[in-house]
Amino acid sequence: MTISPLSIASLRRAMAQGWRIAGATRGVGMAYSLLFTLGGLAIIGGLLSQGWTPFVIAAAGAFMLVGPAILAGFFGIAGAFEAGEAVNLGCIGRGFARASRALWALALVCALLFMIFVTDAAILYAYMVGATPVWLGKLLPTSANVLSFIQWSAVSGLFIAFLLYCVAAFSVPLLCERRAGLVEAVVISVRVVFGNFIVAIVWGFLLATVVVGSVFLLPLLPLTLPWMAHASRALYREALPLA
């Protein structure tokens, strides 16, 4: 499989293409994204109601660990749009139906890494912050214990997120289109990331900033999640063009 080099211009083209498709399929994309928005609202609301406000930051970052598993739905939407077919909620199911079964194995890896991170973060929270509630209105000024928790959970999260990014960034799209088996897809993904390391890191940072920032500002997530998902697909198609 041919791997094409990526550049900062590639990112601009991917963002533009992603915005175009997201805009043209906004109704279905927003409806799909609303599922995750409501889930995020329930999780964040539950944490805030228990006085675990600092843990909201870790929970927002953890979304990036499960995000790759939902990409097949957006592939179904984009595929229907590009084929000139009717774009409706059924496209989401067809996107998953067309994907390789190996995608579910990779989704389990994402879930495992998610559980590892959440467990580590919970242990850090219990050790550094303890059982004393930290309410949203009293978060500032931030105590030294809370700052330590944020710092060390970020270190743990970044390490796990980098591993998952290398493994899943391009393997998930390959599996969504059945262009490779699981092992081959993972190997190709790692090769693409390390072969275009600076551009890949810039893209990962941009992707995380937009999505995690939107988790904090949940009304934005139904707008930004389809955009970044379709942009990820466009970048994958540029790095690994169809024959």
Place of tokens 């690994």: 240
Q: How many domains does the chain have?
A: 1
Confidence of residue 20 (pLDDT cuts 50, 70, 90): very high
Closest CA to 224 of 240, 203, 205, 209: 209
What integer pLDDT is reported at residue 120 of this predicted model?
84
Confidence of residue 79 (pLDDT cuts 50, 70, 90): very high
Q: Which domain holds residue 65?
A: 8-239
Rounded Cα distance between 64 and 114, Å, is 9
Identity of the residue numbered 7: S
Asked whether residue 189 is domain-assigned, the answer is yes
Average the pLDDT over 71-91 and give the result: 93
Asked whether residue 2 is domain-assigned, the answer is no
Asked whether residue 1 is domain-assigned, the answer is no
Asked whether residue 98 is domain-assigned, the answer is yes
Asked whether residue 3 is domain-assigned, the answer is no
